């Protein structure tokens, strides 16, 4: 089971991207491929265990530590449907959070992280404010998807170190794309996510928490 989840987390985005590309191959000129990185944080969140334990976790993003925060997406703009300002994207984000020192001291746990990714995969609707007279284009987006976190918990009762299906993720974003050439552009954006996480840990105990992330992304896009 753990191996299957690990495989899913590592190739899920690639499979989904390939599926979208195949489905819209007749309209390939409307595709946009993007990669990005940036600075990601997360506010405190309540953590509940099925054994009755409750505490508030303080989170650190450590965006540039290994493994880094990053993401990629494929966007299909609906040019051929006479709606050139509207698009659909499939977005994979490697968010991550580390419990801070105060949280570890309070719980007695030595390790509590989702740092080989919260691994968010979302489908989003996008709207861009195009103007042919300028090279920059603002855009907005929102979507829904799933999260597959790498659950890392070491506590006196036991150890958990595995990919698990966490639950539903919601996403919102707003940014500006700047056209460099006919095929290439750069962008800066804000992205916020909400992930509902319900995963098993050691000794038959379930862990629940709701994680919000805030990120400022900088990326590059190739327009097919």
Q: How does pLDDT run across 144-164, given as a tens digit for each residue?
A: 999 999 999 999 999 999 999
CA 167 from chain centre, in angstroms, equals: 13
First to last CA, the chain: 38
Local confidence band at 3 (pLDDT 50, 70, 90 cut-offs): very low
Q: In 74-143, which ranges are continuous DSSP H helix? A: 101-107
The pLDDT score that the predictor gives to residue 1 is 45
Strands across the sheet containing 150-155: 59-60, 97-99, 111-114, 150-155, 158-163
Does the pLDDT at position 102 exceed 80?
Answer: yes
Strand partners, 111: 154
Mean pLDDT of 160-172: 97
The pLDDT score that the predictor gives to residue 30 is 85
Helix (H, G, I), strand (E, B) or coil at 43: coil
Residue-wise pLDDT for 132-141, tens only, equals: 899 999 999 9
Local confidence band at 7 (pLDDT 50, 70, 90 cut-offs): very low
Distance CA 173, CA 169 (A): 13
Q: Which residue has the higher pLDDT, 16 or 6?
A: 16
Return the exposure string of 111-149: e unless at least 16 CB atoms fall within 10 Å of the residue's CB, then b: ebbbbbbbbbbbebebebeeeeeeeebebebebebbbbb
| Burial of 100: CB neighbours in 10 Å, binned 0-12, 13-18, 19+ | middle
The pLDDT score that the predictor gives to residue 28 is 57
What are the CA-CA distances from residue 78 to residues 92, 129, 134, 155 (Å)? 21, 14, 20, 50
Closest CA to 83 of 125, 25, 136, 124: 125
The pLDDT score that the predictor gives to residue 80 is 83
Q: What percent of the chain has a predicted confidence (pLDDT) above 90?
A: 84
pTM above 0.85? yes
Local confidence band at 10 (pLDDT 50, 70, 90 cut-offs): very low
Residue-wise pLDDT for 103-134, tens only, equals: 999 999 999 999 999 999 999 999 999 998 99
């Amino acid at each position: 089971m753990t191996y299957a989840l690990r495989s899913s987390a590592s190739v899920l985005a690639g499979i989904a991207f390939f599926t979208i590309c195949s489905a819209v191959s007749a309209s390939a000129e409307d595709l946009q491929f993007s990669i990005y990185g940036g600075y990601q944080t997360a506010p405190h969140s309540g953590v509940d265990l099925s054994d009755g334990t409750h505490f508030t976790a303080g989170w650190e993003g450590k965006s540039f530590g290994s493994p880094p925060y990053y993401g990629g997406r494929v966007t299909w703009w609906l040019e051929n449907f006479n709606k050139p300002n509207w698009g659909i994207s499939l977005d994979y984000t490697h968010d991550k959070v580390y419990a801070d020192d105060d949280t570890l001291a309070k719980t007695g746990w030595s390790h509590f992280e989702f740092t080989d990714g919260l691994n968010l995969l979302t489908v989003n609707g996008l709207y861009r404010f195009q103007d042919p007279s300028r090279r920059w284009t603002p855009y907005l987006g929102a979507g829904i998807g799933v999260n597959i976190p790498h659950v890392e918990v070491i506590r006196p009762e036991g150890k958990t170190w595995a990919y698990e299906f966490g639950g539903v993720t919601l996403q919102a974003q707003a940014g500006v794309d700047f056209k460099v050439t006919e095929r290439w552009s750069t962008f800066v954006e804000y992205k916020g996510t909400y992930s509902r996480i319900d995963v098993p840990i050691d000794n038959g105990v379930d862990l629940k928490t709701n994680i919000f992330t805030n990120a400022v992304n900088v990326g590059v896009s190739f327009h097919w």
